[in-house]
Amino acid sequence: MGKIAFLFSGQGAQYTGMGRQLCEVSGAAKEVFRLADSIRPGTSAQCFEASKEELSQTVNTQPCVYCVDLAAAEALRESGVSVDAAAGFSLGEIAALTFSGVFSPEDGFSFVCTRGRLMDEAARKTGGGMAAVLKLTNEKVGELCSHYSRIYPVNYNCPGQVSVAGDKEELDAFCKEAASEGARIVPLAVSGAFHSPFMAEAGDRLRETVQSVALHAPKIPVYSDYTAVPYGADPETASDNIVKQVTNPVRWQKILENMRANGFDTFVEAGPGKVLSGLVKKTLPGVRIYHVEDAETLNQAVTDLR
């Protein structure tokens, strides 16, 4: 067996009840939620009991998904599963950085709470929306975006799947044009145009926040959404990547390709849902894929990987 990578889920994977079983079977997972509740009271109850609508509000989604991501990874570590590197999709990158020791547990959770609040505020001010474009090349999607002043390719998910973001009126026109070129369009149920210039104010304010936090060298490599290569030990560069990630595309396909080139053949999605597992399957046929979000999936991964 080659190297093992943990992949941390992003926004959109949330559901009512997520994380509850992990807390029931893992002391390490329970500690993640205990700490979260001490900083943001009610976080665990929100994960376990809140409605889909409440969990879908960015200010709630980000801290809640972060907790489930980190709880799943800590439960794996507690059970003896070793990992060689990590990556996280959008907000999942903050969980990956915390797991690797770049953020302390307290700072990581506090930062993701601030990130969610600032991105939510920016979305309310700027509006905007997102859609996934399937069946076109990355280059074709970029060409179509260039026909519009406020539409941007923002998430390079896997071959034949790119998410775009921008002005809602222009987005409607873009989607019609892309469909005429053979694309399948999937509107995304998000509150704003994430990973685009629409998040500029959130990025500026996050820069002030992250510069006040002590960042440490990662204990395991964490692949950056912004650069698609691992973070280094320099805290100034790390803080810059963390901020730029908010207003720039997530290069997920390239991260997976770089991991495979570096010897990774086993990928474990830590957190709610199986979105990232699907992207791995489409990008890297033949690798081993697991996802961990509850007692059953944790036990299966531990049995096979320990």
Query: Which entry of 195, 196, 224, 291 is annotated as an active-site residue?
Result: 195
Q: Which of 187, 220, 193, 62 is nearest to 129 (CA)?
A: 193
Active site residue 195: yes
Cβ within 8 Å of residue 305, ≥6 positions away: 4, 76, 81, 266, 268, 290
For residue 8, give both structure tokens.
Answer: 């941390």
Q: Are 289 and 283 in contact (CB under 8 A)?
A: no
Do residues 220 and 84 touch, judged by C-beta distance below 8 A? Answer: yes
Write down the catalytic residue from 9, 44, 79, 90.
90
Query: CA of 183: how far to CAs of 89, 149, 152, 163, in Å?
Result: 24, 20, 16, 12
Residue holding tokens 């989604």?
Answer: 61
C-alpha 118/C-alpha 112 separation (Å) is 10
Catalytic residues: 90, 195
